[in-house]
């Protein structure tokens, strides 16, 4: 499933990724949970992911404290603040990462909302990532009442995603055409 969806994403043009990212910004900014959030943990998109640069910028611009991950050699994630587009530096595996001092592995636990990447999510909120388990590790540090929103393309909310005990579910997905879909948190 991962290979099939990533192959399909690889066929998308840069403008399609940007357009998808642009469509996600408005429904997300309108979400009450995000409006009330003082701190949001997000991510800077890479490769064929829906583009998150506008979203991150818009959140920061309206005064939200935005945390972005730094990928560690073991696949775990540390977090540091986004302070505008010029505050980013090239990091591991082609990711743009915050150049600000790191707040450590546990900073994600202080986010009021967490926005995560996904390759697919199912109707129960089960999430398929890129296979590194990085966001499962981060979400293991996040409290059970914190909204966790995965960003997808339209056809990536599926009936069933295989899971293992370490997998952490999401509570909603955001898609370009369909907007926000809340999911039953297990």
Ligand X SMILES: Nc1ncnc2c1ncn2[C@@H]1O[C@H](COP(=O)(O)OP(=O)(O)O)[C@@H](O)[C@H]1O
Of residues 22 and 123, the one with the C-beta less far from ligand X: 123
Check residue 128 for interaction with ligand X (CB under 6 A).
Answer: yes
Stretch of 5-13, 53-61, 79-87, 125-133 contacting Mg ion, by CB under 5 A: 125-133
Check residue 166 for interaction with ligand X (CB under 6 A).
Answer: yes
Check residue 108 for interaction with ligand X (CB under 6 A).
Answer: no
Residue 141 interface partner, choices Mg ion, ligand X, none, CB cut-off 5-8 Å depending on type? none
Pure H helices in the chain = 2-10, 14-30, 32-36, 53-61, 134-139
Query: Are 185 and 171 a contacting pair, CB within 8 Å?
Result: yes
The H-or-E segment that residue 23 falls in is: helix 14-30
Residue 130 CA to residue 98 CA, distance in Å, equals 21
Token pair 């082609």 is found at: 94
Check residue 167 for interaction with ligand X (CB under 6 A).
Answer: yes
The H-or-E segment that residue 7 falls in is: helix 2-10
Token pair 């592995």 is found at: 105
Q: Could you tell me which of 29, 41, 98 has the C-alpha nearest to residue 65?
A: 41
Residue 6 CA to residue 11 CA, distance in Å, equals 9
- Of residues 35, 38, 85, 131, which one binds ligand X by CB under 6 A? 131
Count of residues in contact with ligand X, rule CB under 6 A: 12
Query: Are 58 and 24 a contacting pair, CB within 8 Å?
Result: no
Of residues 80 and 114, the one with the C-beta less far from Mg ion: 114
Smallest distance from Mg ion to CB 36, Å:
28
Residue 132 interface partner, choices ligand X, Mg ion, none, CB cut-off 5-8 Å depending on type? ligand X
Residues that bind ligand X (CB under 6 A): 128-133, 136-137, 140, 164, 166-167
Residues that bind Mg ion (CB under 5 A): 129, 136, 167
């Amino acid at each position: 499933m991962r290979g099939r969806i990533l192959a399909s994403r690889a066929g998308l043009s840069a403008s399609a990724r940007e357009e998808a990212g642009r469509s996600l910004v408005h429904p997300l900014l309108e979400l009450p949970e995000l409006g009330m959030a003082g701190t949001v943990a997000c991510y800077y998109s890479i490769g064929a992911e829906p583009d998150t640069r506008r979203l991150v910028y818009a959140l920061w611009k309206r005064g939200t404290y935005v945390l972005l991950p730094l990928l560690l050699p073991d696949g775990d994630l540390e977090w540091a603040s986004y302070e505008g587009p010029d505050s980013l530096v090239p990091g591991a595996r082609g990711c743009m990462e915050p150049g600000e001092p790191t707040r450590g592995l546990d900073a994600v636990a202080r986010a009021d909302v967490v926005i995560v990447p996904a390759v697919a999510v199912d109707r129960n909120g089960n999430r398929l990532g890129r296979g590194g388990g990085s966001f499962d590790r981060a979400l293991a540090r996040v409290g059970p009442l914190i909204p966790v929103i995965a960003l997808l393309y339209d056809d990536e909310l599926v009936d069933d995603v295989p899971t293992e005990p370490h997998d952490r579910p999401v509570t909603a997905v955001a898609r370009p055409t369909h907007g926000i879909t809340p999911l039953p948190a297990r």
